[in-house]
Structure 1
C-alpha cells in the first residue's frame, strides 16, 4: 500500500463514497426527526382544529356563531380561538386589478388567535381589543411577501385603506394563516362578514386531547356533529416530514450500490496485486511461509484498504450531515449505529472482497510462482 499509494487511494475511494452515503442517509432523517420533535415541543401537539364539512345533501355546511363559547365550556380545553372567511380581497393599492389577489385570503380573527397558535410576530403588533375595531390588518408571512408590504404600510382591502399593524412569522401548525390577511371581528362585520367561524383552533390538556377530539363535533354543532371536520395539525406536520424523508430509502440504495462498486474495486485491486507479486509470494513460500500466512497477508491488506475508506467515508458523511442540518436549522444527530456500523460494514466488505484473491495467492506453489 505504501509503494502504490495512488492505487490504494482509488481503491478505497469507492468504499468511502458508499459509507459516506449510508452515514448521511441514516443521520439526516434522524436530524430531521429531532428537529420535528423540538418543533412540536415548542408548538405543542395538543392543538385541534374544527372546520365545516358538508351536509347530507352535499352542500357546504357552516359552523354556528356560538361555536367558540360552546367549545370553551369543555373542561379540558385550555384555550380556543377562531377565524372566519370574509368575502373581500386585499391588494397592494387600489390601482391593482380586483382579480389580482396574489392568493391572499381575508380572514376575520379574534385577538387571542396568536396566543392559541403559539405564533410570533416578525414585526409590528397583533390585533388588540382596540385595533380590532379599526381598519388595521395583520399579514401572514407569505401574504406580506406576496403583497410586498411590511408593518406601517397600507393595503387596499374591501374597498378601503387598511394599515398593516404587523407581520407574522411562519406558523407551521396553521399554514393557512401564513397566506392570509387578518382583520378584527367587528371590522369584518362592516365588510359583510356574517359571524360564522370557518376554522376553530382549540388547545386542550395533553392528557385529554383524544377525548376532546371525540366530543368537539357534537359540542360545536349538536344538531349535526357529522358536518364538523376535526383534525390534529401536528399529525399532518409529522406526515409531511415523513414524506420528505421517504426518499432516504432511495439514497440508501444508491449508497449500497456505491459500496458494492467499491468492493468490486478492492477485489480487482487485490487480484491484480496477486498477479504482480507472484515472485514475492513464491519467495515467501520457499522461505517457509505457510498458505495461511500468505492468505492472511492479502486478506489483511484488503480489510485495511476498506477500513481506511470506511473511516474517510464516516468523516465525510458526518460533514455532509452537519452541513445539511446547518442549512435547514436542524440539530445534527449522528446515530451510533451509523458511525460504528459504517466502519464495520467497510471491514466486512473488505473481507469479502479480499477472500478470493487471498485464497488464490495461498494456492500458488513456490515453483509455480518463481517460474
Structure 2
C-alpha cells in the first residue's frame, strides 16, 4: 500500500487498496495471534452450532412424532356421561349392553364402562368380616365396571382373570383387585378363594391385576361388576360414568362420531366424546416449543460471540495504533483502515460460522444415529449458517473499525 508516482509528472497518486491486498492483510491479522483468534471465534462457533443443531434436531424430532406417536393414545376414545341427573331417564345413561353396541361398530376393538363407587362414611374395604369398621381401609377405591373394561384397558393378570358377561348378567359378587391392593390386603394367592369385604358385603376375588396399558387407576382399586354395583350402591353419584373405547389405528375419529348415536340413538347429546389428539397438531406444537426455546439460546450465543469479536477487535485497534499511524503516514486513507479491521472481524465471523455449521451438523447426525432416527436437516439452513456467522462478525467489527479510522496519524505515531 505504497504511493506510486504518475509517469513524467512526479505527482503522487492516491493510495489504493485492492481486494487481494485487503484479504491478505485480514488473513495475516487473524493468523498473527492464532490463540486469540480461536477464542474470539468461539462465541460465533457456539451460536451458529446451536442454530444448526436446534433446527436440525427440531425437524428430526418432529418427523418422528407421526411414526412414534403413542398408538395407545391414537387408538383411545373416551365417552363421558353428561345426561341429566334428574327426570324420567335413569341416572346412568349408558345402556346395559353398551359394550356390545360399541364393539359392533367397524373399527372398534373393545369398550367398557366404569365409574367410581361412592361408599358410605362407615363403609370400608377389608379382607375379613369385622364387628366394626375401625380397621377398614377407607383409602382403597372401588370401581364399578362392565366386562369390556379388561380388553379395552389391555389388562394383564398375575393370577386369575377378569369377570365376564355371565358375572355381570347374574349379579355375581366377584371382584378383581390390583396388585398393590392385593399386597395391602394380604392376598397372595387365589387358590383359597379369598374374599374382600366392602362394608358388610363379601366379594370373591377372581383375579389379581399385574398391569394395564390404559386406565392405571385399576391397579390401585377393587373392581366389581357394574350390575352388582348398581344394585348395592346405586348409580354413579360423585363422578359421571365413562366409557373407554379401544379402536383400530385410524378409526378413532370415526368411532368418536358414531359412539353417541350407537349408545343412545334417541339422546346422543347425553354423551361427551373425547377423541385422541391430532398427531400433526402435536408435532407442530412440539416443534414450535423446541424452536422458540433453543433459538433463543442460539441468539444469546451469537450475541456473546459478537461481543467477543467486538471486544477483541477493539483491543487489537489499541495495540496496533502505531501500525495504523505508520500506514496513514505512508498514504493509507481512513476508509482503508476501516476496511482492514472490518475484514478481519468478518473473517473471524465467517470462520466461526463454518466451524459452527460443521459442529451443528455433526451433532444432528450423531444424536439421530444414537436414537436410531433419520436425520432431517434443511439444506437452506446449512447454506445460510456460515453467512450468519459472517454477518455477526461484520456487525461486531463496525465500531472498532470506525474507531481505528478516526485515529489521527500524528497521534498514532507518537504512541
Q: Output the CA distance in 1 between the equivalents of 2:365 and 2:159.
A: 38
Q: How far did 1:86 drift?
A: 5.2
Secondary structure of 2:229 counterpart: coil
Question: In 2 relative to 1, CA 146–127 (structure 1 residues): closer, same or farther, beyond 3 Å?
Answer: closer
What TM-score, normalized to structure 2? Answer: 0.62
Give 1:230 shift.
0.9
Q: CA deviation at 1:346?
A: 1.8
CA distance in 2, matches of 1:190, 1:350: 76
**Whole-Å Cα distance in 2 between the matches of residues 225 and 92 of structure 1?**
40
Higher mean alpha-carbon deviation, 25-34 vs 314-323, is at 314-323
- The equivalences for 1:231-270 within 5 A come to 231-235=274-278, 242=285, 246=289, 248-270=291-313
Tell me the distance in 1 between the aligned counterparts of 2:341 and 2:189.
75
CA gap of 1:131–1:46, structure 2 versus 1, over 3 A, is closer
Q: 1:330 to 1:184 in 2, by over 3 A?
A: farther
- Corresponding residue for 1:200? 244
The answer on 1:68 being equivalent to 2:137 is no
Q: Which residue, 18, 21, 36 being the options, matches 2:65?
A: 36
Q: 1:39 to 1:145 in 2, by over 3 A?
A: farther
Distance 1:181 1:190, change over 3 A: farther
Cα separation, partners in 2 of 1:17 and 1:54, compared to 1, 3 Å: farther
TM-score by length of 1: 0.67
- Measured in 1, the distance between the counterparts of 2:135 and 2:326 equals 90
Gaps of 5+ in 1: none
Call closer, same or farther: CA 1:298–1:61 in 2, change over 3 Å: farther
Which residue is equivalent to 1:82? 112
| Structure 1 SS opposite 2:289 | coil
Does the alignment pair 1:108 with 2:145?
Answer: yes
Aligned-partner Cα distance in 1 for 2:149–2:226 = 18
1:332 to 1:20, Cα distance in 2 relative to 1, 3 A = farther
Output aligned runs, 1:13-52, within 5 Å: 13-40=42-69, 42-43=71-72, 45=74, 47-52=76-81
Helix, strand or coil at the partner of 1:233: coil
- Corresponding residue of 1:278: 321
Long gaps (5+) in structure 2: 1-29, 129-133, 168-173
Query: Residues of 2 paired with 1:113 and 1:266: CA distance?
Result: 65
Equivalent pair of 2:47/2:298 in contact (CA under 8 Å): yes
Name the counterpart of 1:298. 341
Which one has the largest radius of gyration? 2
What is aligned with 2:6?
none
